[in-house]
Amino acid sequence: MDKEILSWGYYLGLNSFDFKFNYEEDLEDILVESTAGFQLGLIGDLRINDYLNLRLEPGVFFITRNLQYDESYFEGEDFNDSDLLREVKSTYVHFPLLLKASAKRINNFKPFLIGGVSMALNLSSNENNPDDNSAGQFRMTSTSYFYEVGFGVDFYLPYFKFTPSIRGIFAINDELIRDNDPDSPWTGNINSMQTRGIFVNLAFR
């Protein structure tokens, strides 16, 4: 299985994503409630040598995060309970380029480290929506950039290779689209908002 120059496969898995916020002023943190999402995609693997492989893993990630704002963000303004909560649904079409560094095979398993960079198109970003949070629309950039690091194990089965892995993903760019009002209670105090998360993949090749 390991001697092929090019090989193909697919993966599916579960994820948990949240946001890292940097603030303009020292107010209460925006709380992020992450719910379990899932992903699926394809694997293209280029063998460099016995220990290094270059990988493309295009896929689709389905993610939901809920933002809970403190009432202090709305001081002096009229608001209701729905203003304190924003549901952020994201559908990322994900394109990672990864380097896989494997240890020597031991019997029927081989551990590895994996890392690289990726970009993603957020099909649910609302970036070009003229409405903002005042109309209940939370907006993000349509394109995001990440770095990823993780580890896993290749298990060699009679007819295919089964690979569970776990990976952390961290956005490089600010993903927030600000509201039209610079003093917006939803976005005015945010200096940057970046995705971070963890996901588990089950791959079959």
Six-digit token string for 177: 């689209």
**Per-residue pLDDT tens digits for 37-79:** 999 999 999 999 989 999 999 999 999 999 999 998 998 888 8
Q: What is the pLDDT of residue 1?
A: 63
Distance between CA atoms of 124 and 90, rounded to whole angstroms?
Answer: 5
Confidence class for position 4, pLDDT limits 50, 70, 90: confident
Distance between CA atoms of 165 and 112, rounded to whole angstroms?
Answer: 9
**Per-residue pLDDT tens digits for 138-163:** 999 999 999 999 999 999 998 889 99
Q: What is the pLDDT of residue 36?
A: 92
Mean pLDDT within 175-200: 95
pLDDT at 172 over 90: yes
Q: What is the pLDDT of residue 64?
A: 94
pLDDT at 101 over 80: yes
Average pLDDT in the chain: 94
Contacts for 159 with CB less than 8 Å, ≥ 6 apart: none
Give the residue from 94, 73, 97 showing the smallest Cα distance to 83: 73
Strands 37-47 and 190-204: unpaired
